[in-house]
């Protein structure tokens, strides 16, 4: 007699999740921005301008800023890059932000985080003109996002990209139950607020949450942004759910020329037979963050016309 392996009841052997192609979707957004910038400059308006401020020698931060600068160049957006030494003082940064606020060629300002420990990031971010806060993390924009009846100048780039990816699978999330794992000020909290503004029912989970797998199993949408490799398992996922993996973890790998490979916060392979759709790492949320930054920068320029 043939012995048949019995799968857990949450596995649907006939289902394979759609892998959400963040690169392709981000390229579509960037193509639209490039076309809009070209139309803008052809009409005699100045190109949008993005100023980036990077303090110190953090290698990932330099990579991020370099990618943003290259993307600006490709889309016709002017890039103003300010690379400052590790020992830059709070006063120097405050003066620089003031100069960028008053510069009419600069429509968007981005301070690359993290900053060196001797600097106070919250205070510095609060000095940016909210109309130029293309990262969407100024206290004014954060506060406006939290109030459903108000409209922030900008929505944070990663949460905006997450919502865009979800809408590529499910255009209307009204009434769906969403679980956001992670409560950071940059991703978790604004993502939860954005989902709520789009009429989802949202639960925010974190390290103190009791019985996290049980909570996840009832969700139609699961977003995980905690920086913990393979944390969310297939057994946590409701069949047919949309799973957005924001995590980027560097795993040592001698077979890779870089000495590591990237993985997310989900156990991708175990979720694949269960979910309706899932983002890969890399190639999921990451490309959308830069695309939404470019879109925010273009929108900033429109507001200063």
pLDDT profile of the chain (305 residues), mean per 10? 38 73 98 98 97 94 94 98 97 98 98 95 96 96 91 96 98 98 95 97 95 97 95 97 94 82 92 97 96 98 92
How many Å apart are CA 213 and CA 232, to the nearest integer? 8
What is the pLDDT at residue 275?
A: 97
pLDDT given for residue 253 in this prediction? 82
pLDDT at 139: 94
Q: Is 182 annotated for ligand binding? A: yes
- Can you tell me which residue has the tokens 């429109």? 302
What is the model's pLDDT at position 260? 80
* Domains of the chain in sequence order: 44-129 (3.40.50.10860), 156-286 (3.40.50.720)
pLDDT of residue 15: 65
Q: Record the pTM.
A: 0.91
Annotated catalytic residue 112 = yes
φ/ψ region of 249 (left if φ > 0, alpha if ψ in -120 to 50, else beta) reads beta
Residue 79 annotated as part of some ligand binding site: no
Query: Which of 30, 112, 129, 238 is flagged as catalytic?
Result: 112
Q: Among 129, 133, 135, 267, which one carries the catalytic annotation?
A: 135
Q: State yes or no: is 148 an active-site residue.
A: no
Q: Any residues with CB less than 8 A from the CB of 265 and at least 6 apart, and which?
A: 181, 224, 225, 226, 227, 228, 229, 230, 231, 232, 245, 246, 247, 249
Ligand-binding annotation for 98, yes or no, is no
Q: Compute CA distances 281 → 47, 56, 295, 300, whole Å.
A: 33, 27, 23, 30
295 catalytic, yes or no? Answer: no
DSSP H or E stretch at residue 204: strand 201-205
Active-site pick, 68, 132, 238, 276: 68
23 to 45, 158, 285, 287: CA distances (angstroms): 30, 14, 8, 6
């Amino acid at each position: 007699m043939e012995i048949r392996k019995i799968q857990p009841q949450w596995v649907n052997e006939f289902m394979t999740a759609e892998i959400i192609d963040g690169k392709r979707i981000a390229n579509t957004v960037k193509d639209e921005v490039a076309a809009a910038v070209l139309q803008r400059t052809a009409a005699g308006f100045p190109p949008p301008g993005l100023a980036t401020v990077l303090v110190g020698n953090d290698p990932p931060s330099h990579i991020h800023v370099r990618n943003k600068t290259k993307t600006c160049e490709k889309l016709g957006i002017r890039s103003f890059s300010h690379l400052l030494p590790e020992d830059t003082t709070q006063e120097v940064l405050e003066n620089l932000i003031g100069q960028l606020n008053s510069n009419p060629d600069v429509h968007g300002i981005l301070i690359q985080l993290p900053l060196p420990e001797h600097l106070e990031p919250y205070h510095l971010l609060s000095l940016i003109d909210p109309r130029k806060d293309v990262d969407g993390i100024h206290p004014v924009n954060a506060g406006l996002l939290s109030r459903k009846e108000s409209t922030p100048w900008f929505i944070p780039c990663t949460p905006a990209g997450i919502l865009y990816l979800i809408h590529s699978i499910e255009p209307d999330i009204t009434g769906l139950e969403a679980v956001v794992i992670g409560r950071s000020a940059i991703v978790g909290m604004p993502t939860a607020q954005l989902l709520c503004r789009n009429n989802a029912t949202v639960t925010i989970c974190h390290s103190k949450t009791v019985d996290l797998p049980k909570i996840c199993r009832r969700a139609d949408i699961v977003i995980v942004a905690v920086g913990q490799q393979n944390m969310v398992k297939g057994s946590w996922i409701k069949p047919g759910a949309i799973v957005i993996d924001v995590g980027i973890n560097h795993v040592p790998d001698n077979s890779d020329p870089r000495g590591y490979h990237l993985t997310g916060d989900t156990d991708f392979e175990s979720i694949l037979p269960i979910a309706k759709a899932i983002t890969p790492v890399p190639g999921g949320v990451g490309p959308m963050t830069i695309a939404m930054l470019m879109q925010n920068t273009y929108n900033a320029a429109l507001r200063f016309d």
